[in-house]
Structure 1
């Protein structure tokens, strides 16, 4: 039994009739890891989470938790707990009774289950709300009650299905800080499904990017961001431009690009593409300038606000996107359109 991993997926497949939702994925999640399953709608991330929980049957393959094959076990015997997107709190019960409910179902005496429920309410900073009903709480407070209810059973693995999607942006940041704190304090694995790149970047020790039922890349967030393996990853993670050199597709981060004009002459310090400005977005400390290249590719530069306003540009202006060769990252795979001969000669031949 290999106890280095809290969760292992071994060639896991899920079919719904003729539809292949998850296609032979394998993954190892080390002990006490915050893992985010990330991808666009329909990529298979929620189905994968539900198979780990036991709410969906595995068509083929095996799921191991702490080295034990749980593929055929019911949810209650897997050592997992799941926090649903809707929170699913009982509206007629107090916060205390909501948190203690699963212990009640197991026959735990009232005093004992209430004592434990108060411990977990304190853990999520909700001890003062024990007597309130869910309707008397904000969305963020309801989320914390649902989290305490999931944790009270002391799971080996906590599963979270887009738990922050119903919160406003400011509250989302605060609650994700709480999730990371709790994961570290409890030293258990969290597996968190999200479609938000920012959320996964902020939370994950291990980021698993999925597409069309496959795992396309699995690595720490910085590795995924710095070294995307394909055009899909580079585009989905965001803030990357995907272009084609003579040797295949390449990516360059938008914040590593700068703006010039076609009249500036040859850009001897690095590769470049010519185009026309299509949009300018002020983002506080940065300004995003989008361009359409002569080859029809959409690219952008993230420019420091002071730099941009020293020489501002507007939609319709000609512009040149310039970067350094060392910031260009070679990609595998297809799905990108080749540049024109005029643009290609200036790209690095990596």
Structure 2
């Protein structure tokens, strides 16, 4: 069947409608295009499919720079020019805020300029699948193995490992993780260090760390310059990426439930108070001027907005990797007396629909 694509939505899918009005989500399609669609799944309210032929092409379409694009599950926007990718992400983000009624009429909300870098060779962390003597990835939404000889979004020093046997020998249960270190790629269970903005972080594959280190300094600067007051709480703190640049001038409390992360944090933090606990169960006996939250993709536990409402920090800095869960949480924080003042997108993952954002929420006067 042929479908006219109206817009791109979450996950980079094109949205169109059948003649009877039923919604169709199409991968590999762009706004304005007329595409032939192969149906992948038919549900009561919608259909999912993929574009198998472009009948009328968008001027923003480009040739993918990877022979496995559309097969490997890693990228979903490589057929869209990078400049258009950035505009798309901004539109999706703002549409989501609007849907959750976070952009009140007459509000002083400001959408800051998107921070972006190189289109390729940016990714500094990855987990490979290993089958026999082959290394690669799973196809999107499946466990179908795709052998991979090179990956254009990986840091070149990591991509080169795909043709070397070192990865296969380091695999455990059919997987091997690699992250970038100062001395080169850190493979499997090995340890190393990574210097960011002059600070040396202990680095390993068993803890979370941002996977675009070239743009990380700008995110750190954005967060640190928006901190107000003396007392700071760093929630979902990981290995203390933000605390490292705040503890010299602020009294910092960091809360992280992963003991491996806090083990690494203790190696490089000096005055930050570290607590091993989930944020929702942490006893908030201290007050804070600024609270930083950097939750996983699922967002805040539903208890956390109420806990922050009782803590009453002047400012909340919310770092998000999912615009929908952020908007949901910001709506809950709005009920606790906070207004969204500004947002900035960090295009950490070109060629994909994923994005990071730093969002500033301030406590309304009298709340």
Structure 1 or 2, whichever has the larger Rg, is 1
Q: Same fold (TM over 0.5)?
A: no
Task: Give 1 or 2: higher helix fraction.
Answer: 1
TM-score by length of 1: 0.27
Q: Which has the higher contact order (CA 8 A, sep 6+)?
A: 1
